[in-house]
Amino acid sequence: MGEHVLVTGGAGFIGRAVIAELLRRGNRVRILDCFLDQVHGGVEPTLDDAVEVVRADIRDGDAVAGALKGVDSVVHLAAEVGVGQSMYEVERYTSANDVGTAVLFERLIDRPVRRVVTASSMSIYGEGLYRAQDGRLVENAERGIVRDGQRVWNPIDAAGVALDPLPTPEWKRPSLASIYALNKYVQERTTHIMAAPYGIESVCLRLFNVYGPGQALSNPYTGVLAIFASRLLNGERPMIFEDGEQRRDFVHVSDVARAFADALVLQQAAGGTFNIGSGQDRSVTEVAQALARAMGRNDCEPEILGKARIGDIRHCFCDTTLARETLGFVAGQDFETGLAELAEWVGQQTAHDRIGQARAELEARGLVA
């Protein structure tokens, strides 16, 4: 017999996949979600009839307390998401993400549960792990973007030689390059700090680039594949910052849902923080071209902007060793198959392309160099 699980932010893209996996495993599920317009575009998401819905903000202490009644465990996904937007809507992001998490744990003091699994992000790493030419590992790589009047996209050493990017492990020190990254790190630390004194087990999952059907296509601050899909669906070229050679790790939402469900029950997960990714790195241009092919839009070559957003990083992809050895987690979804599935779903949707508006907002605030 499963548990009664509260999923905060359960109506979102990842939340709906987590709910489906929890129900499949025999759990009862309640969600708390404010159904934010930027995420849902004013359209009510379809939820399983078995899911109990509490429509409220994570900062509403009374609503959170009510949602915790009778609950055995919590998956904490509720958060404002978007590196770029976090750099000018600072209060909104910090309030929803950090204060919201604080409210949750204050209410857990009186209603402790067995375990809380919190969604973190690869964004806390800033730049990923690198290796210098002399073999030295570099955890604090930085780049100036413009050096001696020339654009230099890759982090370099003191001699001006580009560093080699490596898979990023959990032990790599955080480098908080955006307010969103700072928020996610605070959520992580709040989870681990507040859980143990009250007899609650804690787990944090650092998610890499999650993709799949159900993404918020009209939200210009969501995952890059959803942004590309929205552009392609509207007959526009995907817009890519810098030179398009920045490398990321894309993991399917079904694999992420499985990771959350496992992290909720595996005893060896307690107290841990784990990367969740595919272990495969790809350039952003490569990904945009692959999605265009999957959507039958080979005529839409990406538009390479040659500009960088403040807070963006060059390379960060996933070292999956700890999750594999401790949780037994291995991503199972083939990328090309996953893209075909995403393309089929996107073809049945309507999306409002707001990426131009989002870019203009960033540029107006001096956040594009």
- Strand (E) or helix (H) holding 273: strand 273-276
Residue 180 known to be catalytic: yes
Question: CA nearest 358: which of 286, 302, 309, 297?
Answer: 309
- Helical segments of 136-195, H only: 179-195
Which residue blocks in the chain are alpha helix, DSSP H? 13-24, 37-40, 61-68, 83-86, 90-94, 100-110, 179-195, 224-233, 253-263, 284-294, 321-322, 335-346, 355-364
Closest CA to 23 of 3, 45, 44: 3
Instruction: Give yes or no for a contact between 58 and 94, defined as CB atoms under 8 angstroms apart.
Output: no
Residues contacting 326, CB < 8 A, separation 6+: 268, 269, 272, 274
CA distances from 331 to 210, 214, 282 (A): 12, 19, 15
In DSSP notation, 7-47 reads EETTTSHHHHHHHHHHHHTT-EEEEEE---HHHHTTPPPP-
Q: How far apart are CA 36 and CA 238, in angstroms?
A: 25
Task: Report the C-alpha gap between 355 and 343 in whole angstroms.
Answer: 19
Residues 52, 66: Cα–Cα separation, whole Å: 12
Alpha carbons 290 and 296: distance in angstroms, whole number: 10
Out of 93, 125, 130, 180, the active site residue is 180
Q: Which of 116, 312, 291 is nearest to 212 (CA)?
A: 291
Instruction: For residue 131, give the H/E element and its range.
Output: strand 130-131
Which two structure tokens, joined as six digits, stand for 53? 């819905």
Phi-psi region of 306 (alpha: psi -120 to 50; beta: other; left: phi over 0): left
Residue positions annotated with a catalytic role: 180
